[in-house]
Amino acid sequence: MNRGPTGPACLGAEFTLPTAGAGEPGIGGTPLVPLVVPVCGIDRRLWLKLEGANAYGSIKARTAHALIEHLEHNGGLEPGGSIVESTSGNLGVALAGICRARGYRCTLVVDRDTPRRSIILMADAGADVILVEPTAAGNPVAERLRMVRRILAADPRMRWTDQYGSPANPGVHERWTGPELARGIGAVGPDAVVAAISTGGTLAGLSAYFRRAHPNTTIVGVDAVGSAAIGGARGARPAKIPGFGSGRRSSFLCPGDWDVCVRVDDEYAAPACRVVRAATGLTLGGSSGAALLGAMVAARGDPELREIGVICPDLGAAYLNTIYASRRPPPLESEPALREGLADLAAARRRG
């Protein structure tokens, strides 16, 4: 398998996480739940890293913590200062909560795909929430970033956490999420780790850690059909899953950072979540459904992948009215690999 160049060259400036989460109670140390799924007649153990158990409800709690600490140490964020960020939901909820705890003002720019529940949580934590309307041909991320730049230009004391460019984003997953996942799975390390992509920070950080500490681990990235996160043209995504894929290319990821990349249609992520809930009782967020399908496709392609770590960025509470309320089947003209993946997931069982 082509391993290509390793990640750190893509991560920009060397980043130090001063306290690895200490001082921010409730972040990190998330549960690791094993599921057994037979794929091509071989039992595979999926280790679901339930990041929805973090304070503020998602993996973005780690990211938000690191972004703020980075600004405090390197970005001129002073006590009582102000930050701004563009967010599709989860990062904003975490930033709002941490800013409230640390006494910063927080302005969050969202778009109409941002779940209403996330906006309510941001506002409840005291953040100023600005909703941008994309133009007809618009790219929501580009519209949000335009607004962030206007806000920065209008107030020189405002600081941008910049989840798209800050080395603290991949850095926190390299130094914290990755080692925690590997420790939980066992001394030899997993055969594969799987992560869905949005900014690419999670996958880039995991890749940097596993390439160094467990070089035999296969890195599996999962991007959305129609996402430009790892290249390719941006396409229409009428059923877009929040926090999955992106209208802009990741500035953290280089092609050598992953061994396998699986493209998952948004319309498949939702049935995957429902199938997993029916089989196991776990109510996962939409991008977790995509990641699990990615894991199934990778497992079908490689019988050696037996112990597979899967990052599940959030839980399903924010999606009860969408993913879990729908009965919509996956598209008829669907990819055989994704159809097979759904069938595999239906046989998932919760045992060690």
Ligand X SMILES: Cc1ncc(COP(=O)(O)O)c(C=O)c1O
**Whole-number minimum distance, CB 156 to ligand X, in Å?**
28
Is beta strand 42-50 parallel, antiparallel or unpaired with respect to 32-39? antiparallel
Give the residue with the Cβ less far from ligand X, 86 or 217.
Answer: 86
Which residues are near ligand X by CB under 6 A? Answer: 58, 60, 88, 90-91, 196-202, 243-244, 285, 287, 313-314
Placement of tokens 């709002």 in the chain:
96
* Nearest position to ligand X, beta carbon: 243
Q: Angle 66-91-19 (CA atoms, 0-180°, nearest 5)? A: 15
Rounded to whole angstroms, the Cα distance separating 44 from 328 reads: 28
81 vs 226 by CB, closer to ligand X = 226
Q: Which is nearer to ligand X, 107 or 202 (CB)?
A: 202
Half-sphere exposure (CA, 13 Å, Cβ side) for 143? Answer: 16
Q: Tell me how crowded residue 154 is: count the other CB atoms within 10 A of its CB.
A: 8
**Residue with tokens 């140490």, as numbered in its chain:** 73
Minimum distance from residue 108 beta carbon to ligand X (Å) = 13
The length of the chain is: 352
Compute the Cα dihedral for 151, 152, 157, 159 and give only its sign. positive
Which lies closer to ligand X via its Cβ, residue 39 or residue 182? Answer: 182
Cβ atoms 172, 65 nearer than 8 A: yes
Dmax (CA) for the chain in angstroms is 60
Nearest distance from residue 199's CB to ligand X, in Å?
A: 3
Q: State the nearest-atom distance from the C-beta of 196 to ligand X, in Å.
A: 4
Tell me the residue type at 219: I
CB of 197 to ligand X, least distance (A): 5
> What's the rounded Cα separation, in Å, for the pair 322 and 326?
6
Residue 81, φ and ψ in degrees, nearest 5: -75, -175
Work out how close the CB of 324 gets to ligand X at its nearest, in angstroms, rounded to a whole number.
15
61 vs 99, beta carbon nearer ligand X? 61
Least distance to ligand X from the beta carbon of 240, Å?
12
- Cβ–Cβ < 8 Å for 267, 302: no
